[in-house]
Amino acid sequence: MPTNKKNIFKLMHFASTAWFMLCTSYILILALRQAGFRWWVIFSLSGYSALLILLLVSLYLFAVFRGIDRSQKIEIEHPLTSTAYYTMFYDTCPFLGCLAGYLGMIGASKISEVSSGIALGTLATTFLVWIIVDPVIGSLEKMLPVSRKHRIQRLLQAKALRHQQQQEQKVLLDRILATEEQNRQRWQQILQPYSGKLAGLLSNQTYNEQAEKEAVSIGANVWQMGGLNCMRQLYSMTMEKCDRNYQNSMAANYLSNWWDGIGTWRNPSLG
């Protein structure tokens, strides 16, 4: 369907929905007035106003949902309801109901009677078409042999596409994991000297400015080599050596503080 025609139908659907909601509001307010409620009670922050607002919002959301659902219909599966003529009928049925209500009130002497007839005609026609007729026709369309065959093929194709996407994602994930494992094994050899150096620097449990400068320099070099993952691997290797050779319980805090701010490294205790 051309874009201009779609925009026209959207405008018609919005206008008909607004008219339908206006007529519904009129009928509700008229019913409350006939029941003896005063204007300030109807429009005050009371249960009646909340009920009216809830109903109008529900009608609006229903109209929006139906408009979206209709725009997604497939012509071969819905040979009637996807046509431009049916769409025009569907979108203009509140106005058709308005016309029917007006014609039904010809001869009425009071404006209030004519207004009530128009509102009731709009409400009845819209309810009949939108709630009963359209879903029934849509269901009958789905039962047609051509529609059923196309729907089954479409669902099978969608299932195959999802399966293909899952396989592609799995292949990509496996490739990423394999690359990370290769990097980890390569870094394991390269980082051995660095981990030994850092473990030696951390063997002194008191603050040492020179040790901090050397540790920061090593961290910066490792960051340039392989980013955060490489720094984490060096950190883990260094902690293992500290625990095994020096029994330094403060080594982790020292090194994490010294490296804070290098690349994306952040000290967990400060995060």
CA distances 245 to 157, 182, 234, 239, Å, are: 61, 28, 16, 10
CB 226 within 8 A of CB 236: no
How far is residue 142 from each of residues 66, 136, 160, measured CA to CA in Å?
17, 10, 22
The pLDDT of residue 13? 78
Q: Tell me, what's the pLDDT at 45?
A: 44
Per-residue pLDDT of the chain (271 residues; tens, 9 = 90+): 556 777 787 788 788 888 888 888 787 777 666 666 555 554 554 555 555 556 666 665 665 555 555 555 677 777 888 888 888 898 888 899 999 888 888 877 788 788 888 888 888 898 888 888 888 888 888 888 888 888 888 889 989 999 999 999 999 999 988 888 888 888 888 899 998 888 888 876 556 788 888 889 999 999 988 888 899 999 999 888 887 777 666 777 788 888 988 888 887 654 4
Q: According to the model, what pLDDT value does residue 109 have?
A: 74
Q: Report CA-CA distances (Å) from 65 to 17, 57, 71, 75, 171.
A: 12, 12, 10, 19, 38
Tokens of 236: 């883990």
pLDDT for 50? 57
User: Can you tell me the distance from the alpha carbon of 230 to that of 259, in angstroms, rounded to the nearest whole number?
Assistant: 13
Task: Record the pTM.
Answer: 0.51
Q: Which two tokens stand for residue 127?
A: 């309810």
- DSSP per residue, 158-197: HHHHHHHHHHHHHHHHHHHHHHHHHHHHHHHHHTHHHHHH
How far apart CA 269 and CA 271 sit, in angstroms, is: 6
Query: What gap in Å lies between CA 102 and CA 118, rounded to an integer?
Result: 5
Q: What is the pLDDT of residue 42?
A: 47
Which pLDDT value is given to residue 242?
A: 84
Instruction: Give the amino acid at 221.
Output: N
Could you please report the per-residue DSSP string of 48-108?
A: HHHHHHHHHHHHHHHHHHHHHHHHT--TTT-TTTTSHHHHHHHHHHHHHHHHHHHHHTTT-
Sole residue written with tokens 């093929």: 153
The pLDDT score that the predictor gives to residue 162 is: 93
Residue 217 has what pLDDT? 92
**Category of 36 on φ-ψ map: left (φ > 0), alpha (ψ -120 to 50) or beta:** left
